[in-house]
Amino acid sequence: MGIGEYPPEFNPKIHGPYNPARYYGKPDASLGEVKVGELGSWLARRNWTPAGMAGGISRAYWRWAQKWLLVKRGSMAPIAQSIVGLSVFYYFLQYKAHTNHRHFKYH
C-alpha cells in the first residue's frame, strides 16, 4: 500500500464508495471486549509498522472530521476541541518549566 492508493482489502464491488475513516481489514474485537488474559495476543495482532500507525492516525482523524468538522450545521465544538488539544500539548511541551516553578516561594 503506497501513498495515495486504496488499501489492498478494499473492494468497491463489496464496500461501495471508499471511506477513509473505515478500516477495511478483517474485523477484530474492540479493546472494550478484550479480557485481561487476552490483551497480549490482541496487541500482537495490531499493525505496529510505521505505515500501519500512520493509517490508524489517518482513520482517527477522518472519523473525528466526519463527526465534528464536515457536517452541514456545525458548531464551535471542533474549534474548542482543537484549542483544548493544543493547550494540553503546549502544557506537556513546557512541563519541565512547570516543575521547576513548583519549588519557588512567591510570598
Q: In this predicted structure, which of 12-21, 37-46, 69-78, 94-103 has the lowest mean pLDDT?
A: 94-103
32-56 pLDDT per residue, tens: 999 999 999 999 999 999 988 998 9
Q: Where are the domains of the chain?
A: 12-101
C-alpha span between 29 and 31 (Å, rounded): 7
Does the pLDDT value for residue 104 go beyond 70? Answer: no
Q: For residue 36, what are the CA distances in angstroms to 29, 31, 41, 44, 64? A: 13, 10, 10, 14, 28
